[in-house]
Amino acid sequence: MSYKFLITGANKGIGYALTCEVLDKGYDVIALCRDTSNTINLDELNSAYKDNLKIFKADVANEDRLRDISDSIDGIDVIICNAGIMGAKGGMFDQQNTPNTILNVLMTNIAGPFFTIRAFLEKLKTSEKPKIAIISSHMGSQQHGSNNAYFYRASKAAVNNLMVTFSNELQSYNISVAAFHPGWVRTDMGGQYASLSPEQSAKALFKLIMKLNMEDSGNFFNYDGNNLHL
């Protein structure tokens, strides 16, 4: 079976590495990027894989734009909600804990996956083995609590909760939905001292996503395949 993936935040970091991995395995990617002026990497990929890669500009907080893209494409098999932002990294007095930054974190990390899944659901229903993967973080787990990044943690806890609700509502369509912690990854978000390269994380995530089935639906997985607490 050939698979068509839709990946958000595909221009850099884990989203870009996932895009490379999927294309390398011979499958198709619809790559969504917030800003197509910084897609140099993707543009290079496009010349190598032009029949397998389509690039669209889309902010995941803009559902109208996501719907327009959905209307313009054929069916898809896998949605990977990867786009995310950190916001304030510090404690409660971190100066980035402003209404605007908080709103951006919540709109991107919680509403973004919700709008993406809702906009592309009809296209996913045409698949024989439809799957949804939400790239979350163990920072959203109550068992990995700490004293910083208040709204990032809260947003990932919330998107894990959304994932469970989606898994319940989409069960009757045989759509499996799961959340994944990608590891600590050397990206703009993870920083240079993180333990995994984006390629290592993407390879591990790709394997898990490919074998995702209805029994896995509603679960939160580490990149190594172990279950994590919500």
The contact set with ligand NAP (CB under 6 A) reads: 8-9, 11-15, 34-35, 38, 59-61, 82-85, 108, 112, 135, 137, 181-182, 184-185, 187-190, 194
Q: How far is CA 226 from CA 177, 181, 196, 219, in A?
A: 16, 10, 17, 10
Is 112 exposed, middle or buried (CB count within 10 Å of its CB: 0-12, 13-18, 19+)?
Answer: buried
Residue 213 CB, nearest approach to ligand NAP (Å): 23
Residue 189 CB, nearest approach to ligand NAP (Å): 4
Residue 12 CB, nearest approach to ligand NAP (Å): 5
Nearer to ligand NAP, 52 or 197 (CB): 197
The one-letter code for the residue type at 140 is: G
- Tell me the Cα Rg of the chain: 16
b/e burial code for range 172-205 (CB count within 10 A of at least 16 → b)? eeebbbbbbbbbbbbbebbeeeeebebbbbbbbb
Residue 174 CB, nearest approach to ligand NAP (Å): 26
Nearer to ligand NAP, 27 or 223 (CB): 223
For residue 215, what are its two tokens? 């029994």
Nearer to ligand NAP, 6 or 215 (CB): 6
Nearer to ligand NAP, 107 or 170 (CB): 107
